[in-house]
Structure 1
Amino acid sequence: MENKEHIQQHYIEYVLEHGRQPVSVFAFAKHLGISEQEFYQHFNSFEGLEQEVWRELFETTRVKVESQEVYMQYSVREKLLSFYYSWIEVLKNNRSFVVYTANKYPGRRFHTASTELYTFRNAFKEFAGELIREGRTTDEIIDRPYLSNRYADGFWMQALFVLNFWIKDQSKNFEQTDVAIEKAVNTSFDLLGRTPLDSIFDFAKFLYQSKN
């Protein structure tokens, strides 16, 4: 019986060679010499298969960075930088499939509702949530009323920015993407950490409470 990885690989090869999905699961299964039942034991649809590919690209990256001995010594900012740099390296090995997926959308740009990224998005936001919680304990990230519960969404938007930037990057070895990652992550942590505005807010809050 064909295993999950084999079906995935043949599907990726098919869409890259034909520029489209197979006309049906039946036709694709016949192409592989397996039954529809065998396909559905692993995936509920072609869309589900593509979602799994994207989730596995994320998981491969996460395992890669977290297995490094130095990772636990990193600040939260450095952990996110390490993830993005490693993620791009993983994506380079699958660039044709990434571009194929992006070509489904206007301007070759993924957006928050891109169905292929659904399970990846959930996994990434869980990962981001862990970094956010750690960042609060190290004071790299501070709580802000009405905003803190949106931090994970903000990091997801950042991941989409990195992905879309890389897809369109024409620089040698995608060097501009590395620069974009550094600037995006540094800016986000500069904003999520304590800023002069937080001091002003705390002072105003103190004055208000003192009057009451």
Structure 2
Amino acid sequence: MPAKTKTKKKLDQHKLISLYMDYVLTHEKYPKSVYKFAKDHDFEENDFYQFFGSFEALRNGIWTAFFENTTSLMHKNEEVSQYGSREKMLTFFFTFFEILSANRSYVLMALAEHEDMMKNMNQLKGLRKNIKSFAKELIEDDNDDKKFNFLKNSESVFSEGAWIQFLFLLKFWKDDTSPNFEKTDVAIEKSVNTIFDVFDNTPLEKVFDFGKFLYKEQMNR
């Protein structure tokens, strides 16, 4: 009777990401060799390179996957397409941080990989591009509805502001110990409303309210 041929696992980007994250969390360290990682998971080293050129590229891909999962969930909700830019940004951040919370153990470990924070930020390069692009589309839609050029907002300023806002929220979420990360939800709502209020030139009461919220949170830590 002929010997059975061992069936190799079918790989795709999502499968590789899942295997990598599971390895990191289970071993509490990062794999050093693609060859060893592939062998341990019963696939060929070359199969890995069909999707990612290195572990660094894979780590970038994890954050891209978080972004893509977020936008996919938003698109599945038909009501979101009817939202204004403010509501879309709120929905994006709420959804994104729900996904981060579902993967909190990995995210915290990934963001603490290096003592040099800038090295940890390298894995966010792709995410930065995606978030800025998302924000740019929102402000473009808003500007299309404004008849006069002087009423239109700067797409570059708004998109960069959205990225800085995300970094602030990421730091806040990392340090948040409230049940179900309720304080992060408050920070998201206040920060998004503040930014849109500033861009809409509405009264600055909410800016002051947001500042009081941040001061209170910092004083309680």
TM range (shorter): 0.7 to 0.9
Verify: 1:187 aligned to 2:210, yes or no: no
Q: Determine the C-alpha separation between the residues in 1 that align with 2:141 and 2:119.
A: 25
Q: Determine the C-alpha separation between the residues in 2 that align with 1:66 and 1:54.
A: 19
User: What SS does structure 2 have at the residue aligned with 1:114?
Assistant: helix
Alignment of 1:34-183 (within 5 A): 34-106=43-115, 114-138=121-145, 142-143=151-152, 148-183=155-190
User: What SS does structure 1 have at the residue aligned with 2:87?
Assistant: helix
Structure 1 residue 195, shift from structure 2 partner: 5.1
Q: Please say if residues 112 and 157 of structure 1, whose CA atoms lie closer than 8 Å, have aligned partners that are also in contact.
A: no
Q: Determine the C-alpha separation between the residues in 2 that align with 1:15 and 1:196.
A: 48
Q: Determine the C-alpha separation between the residues in 2 that align with 1:105 and 1:58.
A: 23
* TM-score (ref. length: structure 2): 0.79
2:19 partner letter: H
Larger RCO of the pair (alpha carbons < 8 Å, separation 6+): 1
* TM-score (ref. length: structure 1): 0.82
Q: Determine the C-alpha separation between the residues in 1 that align with 2:166 and 2:118.
A: 10
- Cα-Cα RMSD: 2.4
Which residue of 4, 19, 42 maps to 1:33?
Answer: 42
Aligned length: 192
1:46 partner letter: F
Identity of aligned residues (%): 39
Structure 1 unpaired stretches of 5+:
198-212
Q: Please say if residues 111 and 160 of structure 1, whose CA atoms lie closer than 8 Å, have aligned partners that are also in contact.
A: no
Structure 1 residue 20, shift from structure 2 partner: 2.2
Q: Please say if residues 60 and 124 of structure 2, whose CA atoms lie closer than 8 Å, have aligned partners that are also in contact.
A: yes
Verify: 1:17 aligned to 2:26, yes or no: yes
Q: Please say if residues 142 and 192 of structure 1, whose CA atoms lie closer than 8 Å, have aligned partners that are also in contact.
A: no
Residue 106 to residue 171, structure 1, CA distance change in 2 (3 Å): farther
